[in-house]
Amino acid sequence: MIPQRVTLTPEALLLDWDDHSQRLSADALRRACRCADCLAGRSAPSATQTHLREARPVGHYALQLCFDDGHERGIYPWPYLAALQREATLG
């Protein structure tokens, strides 16, 4: 499961899959980070709006997202990104 196109804006990550398009906000992605620091509560998103700076490919399975608050440790596998959209739709 790899998107056909990945578009990064400061406000969102846009993914074009085979059968649908997906928009994940920078704030939601920052809150969804699963790196060790975030899971342990040592790295929390700032109170102000977060922006995306860069998306680095990690092999063929994920993206490493870099945020304007300096955080860039999170790895976001494609299935996890797809699940975030489903959770937002259901929640």
Low-confidence ranges of the chain (pLDDT < 50): 89-91
Under 8 Å between Cβ of 34 and 74: yes
Burial of 71 (0-12, 13-18, 19+ CB in 10 A): buried
Q: pLDDT, tens digit, for every residue of 6-24?
A: 999 999 999 999 999 999 9
| Per-residue confidence (pLDDT) for residue 32, from 0 to 100 | 93
Backbone angles phi, psi at 60, to 5 degrees: -105, 10
What pLDDT score was predicted for residue 43?
78
Would the pTM count as exceeding 0.85? yes
pLDDT of residue 44: 73
